[in-house]
Amino acid sequence: MNLYKTTQRTNYTIFVPKKQMQLNLNQQKTYKETKEIIHRLYLQSLRRPSSLIINMIQPLLWLLLFGALFQNAPIYLFEQYKIQYREFLNPGIIIFTGFNSAINAGLPLMFDREFGFLNRILISPITNKNSIIYSCVIHTWLIATTQIIAIILITIYQTNNNISFNINQLIINISISTVIITNISAISICNALILPGHIEFIALTTLLINLPTLFASTALAPLSFMPTWLQIICCTNPLTYAIEIIRSHSLHTSISVNTEIINANWLTINVQQGILILILINVISITIVRKIIKYKYD
């Protein structure tokens, strides 16, 4: 009897693994996974270059049409700057270019959901599902940054180098645009994970987010030119702070963290506070989308 118990105990012990498997989210492996997904996204972009061309043409149309429509507008009557309207419009077009690319960052993810490729990615030996988010954001940032640099070069050519431009201005433009691109890309990815299909995604981004967000900012008109209710909406829009930081830097010879970018009767915000607001909104957006992907796909 004792011999039977000993044999039975020994037979069960062979099923116990000698080495426990642990899920180690190695940074090097996460980097490799993100790199491979980015490579896949760029192959998709190269196979349909029409979307890249359209995203490039749309901000140029805004710059050309609005710049020509209001080229004789007396901007100095309602703002302290004595400049042409095209110069006033340029920072808004730069941010709108990044916003327009970032708002569609979740569209490839939405198509992957509909065609079943997202399920293949999730069941693959991927250690960190956040690499899906990182790859979409980085892919969008690289494309949007290229478009922004092209817009800057075109505006310099249009104004015959009347705008003082230097490397510091380029760094500030790209840095502020990066915060906006990351923020809007996270919101777009969140919509791609929640909405049922690409029709609802396009309807939401095009009709309810794209144009209202542009017009409810200081991209096309200064804050002092708006009624109070629209000023309140503009001050809740992160694009307003990004546009005003870039505009203040491009129109002033030098700015500091205490330079005022929002100066209304009921609100005053300087550069430092504007950057903190942008970073805070960015952190909240990324945290929410990470929670969603963990809740839905873990």
Per-residue pLDDT reduced to its tens digit, 103-145:
888 888 888 888 877 777 777 777 777 778 888 888 888 888 8
The confidence score (pLDDT) of residue 132 equals 80
Indicate the pLDDT class of residue 75, thresholds 50, 70 and 90.
low
Determine the average pLDDT of the residues in 197-206: 80
| Cα separations in angstroms, 68 against 65, 99, 193, 214 | 5, 23, 40, 19
Please tell me the distance from the alpha carbon of residue 270 to that of residue 241, in angstroms, as a whole number.
Answer: 9
The confidence score (pLDDT) of residue 277 equals 87
Beta-carbon contacts of residue 115 (< 8 Å; ≥ 6 apart): none
Residue ranges per structural domain of the chain: 45-297
Please tell me the distance from the alpha carbon of residue 73 to that of residue 105, in angstroms, as a whole number.
Answer: 35
Q: Which of 69-78, 187-196, 211-220 has the lowest mean pLDDT?
A: 69-78
Determine the average pLDDT of the residues in 137-166: 75
Q: How much is the mean pLDDT over the chain? A: 76
Indicate the pLDDT class of residue 245, thresholds 50, 70 and 90.
confident
The confidence score (pLDDT) of residue 142 equals 87
